[in-house]
Structure 1
Amino acid sequence: MNIYTVPLHANHPTTYKQSVNKTSHSFNEHLQQAIEGTKQLKISKHANERLNERQISISAEQWQHITNKVDMAQQKGVKQPLVLMDQAALIINAKNRTVITAMNRMEAKEQIFTNIDGTIVL
């Protein structure tokens, strides 16, 4: 019976290419963009039709302000706020981040709002 000894291999540190960092950096960028995208409010087809029919225009700055206020309301537990602006009233689903409907202020004066649990006055 012959027994052979296996030669020991020296432990050499393995070097990896730095491409891993590029990939993770790229992934982080994509993740950040995805997160940013989920922060923006979406407009439902119904709300978009109402905005167009009623000729309600909301600037990018106003949308950002609305988004910030919806975020604050959501942190306080509000799920479906009514947003009152100078020219319009919007009902927003905070969880889905979607504008459900829109009306001008003249219509808003005549309406009774249901299925809301908070109000944001801008």
Structure 2
Amino acid sequence: MDPRIYTQSLHTLPKLTRKTVNQPQTTQFHKLLQNELLTETELKVSKHAKQRMDVRGIEFSEEKWLTIQEKVKEAKQKGITDSLVVTDHAALVVSAKNDTVITVMDREEAQSQIFTNINGTIIID
């Protein structure tokens, strides 16, 4: 054997293992996400809309308000961002994207108006 050739034994390297994802964190995130998706988003009333409602004496029953919220949520799921909500006593311009009532007027006043910048209409009797 040639004296210039040295032999060395190779040590086996430790096997690389992938770090597993912490299951409790993933489960917690999943639960949080599902909770947010199932949470009812409450429709907010802008300061301007609240003032108009107060001046004009426009009020909604709890049942009517829940119906409006439900229909705005449906409209949002269909891709509507700004809608006109027409009820038997009032008309509301609602930003479905922001879940906010922008303005409110009674039906008589609404009859003489032209509504712009809306991409959906909800009629509730």
Residue by residue over 1:1-60, the C-alpha shift from the partner in whole angstroms, topping out at 9 and shown as x without a partner, is xxxxxxxxxxxxxxxxxxxxxxx8xxx79x959x74x61100000000000111001011
**Alignment correspondent of 1:115:** 117
TM, length-normalised to structure 2: 0.68
Among residues 91, 96, 99, which one is paired with 1:97 in the alignment? 99
Residue by residue over 1:50-93, the C-alpha shift from the partner in whole angstroms, topping out at 9 and shown as x without a partner, is 00111001011111100110011111110001000000000000
Structure whose alpha-carbon radius of gyration is higher: 2
Distance 2:112 2:82 in 1: 20
**Alignment correspondent of 1:63:** 65
Among residues 58, 76, 81, which one is paired with 1:79 in the alignment? 81
Distance 2:65 2:43 in 1: 8
The one-letter code sitting in structure 2 at the alignment partner of 1:62 is K
The one-letter code sitting in structure 1 at the alignment partner of 2:83 is P
Among residues 33, 48, 54, which one is paired with 2:56 in the alignment? 54
Question: Percent of aligned positions with the same letter in both sequences?
Answer: 48
Tell me the secondary structure at the aligned position of residue 59 of structure 2: coil
Tell me the secondary structure at the aligned position of residue 57 of structure 2: coil
Q: CA RMSD in A?
A: 2.2
- 4+ residue segments displaced more than 4 Å: none
**Alignment correspondent of 1:42:** 44
**Alignment correspondent of 2:18:** none
- Could you list the runs of 5+ residues in structure 2 that have no partner in the other structure? 1-27
Tell me the secondary structure at the aligned position of residue 91 of structure 1: strand
Distance 1:52 1:75 in 2: 30
TM, length-normalised to structure 1: 0.70
More helix by share: 1
